[in-house]
Amino acid sequence: MKLIKYMTLTLFMGVATLASAQTNVDPERKQAIDSLALEKVKDLSKYISIIGNKDTQFSEAKRVMDRAEELFAPGSEMGVSSLSKEEISYYKVREYFERLSALNYDKVTIKWYDIHYVSDLEKQPDGTYVGVITIYQRFEGRSEDGLSYKDTTKKDITIYVKKKETQIAGRIIEFWDVLLGDIRVTETTA
């Protein structure tokens, strides 16, 4: 985990060196921000696989939940859908992870694929930029008694990009930070 934190800090520093006093995102910075946003989404995909895996020890799942929660803006929600009902349920991020960990299957496989931006970053009045990344999630749950469930869900992930400051070695460094927001279900198929 220390290596991941170091790599994340290094990536932030790379984005930070691209940042300047301007509030607009030029194409070079946008490319670095897009890369960071996509990396965070891919990290979340890995974390969800670990949390949902029934072979993951509880203490490890809890540690991964803590790490995954750090990717999100406060108050973010995640959508859950099923082929058996039309309504989509939304849960706070931590509750979603806890429910995922407690699913009543002996084997759970969750894979994300076709991850891509569907909207450019749009500047909000407070200076934050907002965009959307779309992913497809393939869920499979199996029980030893033969119970099986599979679906594919298309989800839109809101991305928040905001300029922040940190102090390193007495110097104020500006950088663009990326946080994930709500994850909305847009379609569920077999």
Q: What is the C-alpha to C-alpha distance for residues 79 and 91, in angstroms, rounded to an integer?
A: 7
Q: Which domain holds residue 168?
A: 2-189
Residue 17 C-beta-side C-alpha neighbours within 13 Å: 5
- The closest alpha carbon to 133, from 84, 183, 71, belongs to 183
Sort residue 147 into left (φ over 0), alpha (ψ -120 to 50) or beta.
beta
pLDDT digits (tens, 9 = 90+) for 86-106: 999 999 999 999 999 999 999
Residues in the chain: 190
- The pLDDT, as a whole number, for residue 5 is 43
What average pLDDT does this structure show over 25-42? 87
Looking up residue 14, the CATH number of its domain turns out to be: 3.10.450.50
pTM for this prediction: 0.83
Distance from C-alpha of 186 to C-alpha of 156, rounded to nearest angstrom: 7
Nearest-angstrom CA–CA distance, 58 and 44: 18
pLDDT at residue 119, rounded to an integer: 83
| Rg for the chain, CA atoms, rounded | 18
pLDDT digits (tens, 9 = 90+) for 44-70: 999 999 999 999 999 999 999 999 999
Structural domains in the chain (count): 1
CB atoms closer than 10 angstroms to residue 68 = 21
On whether the CB atoms of residues 107 and 141 are closer than 8 A, the answer is yes
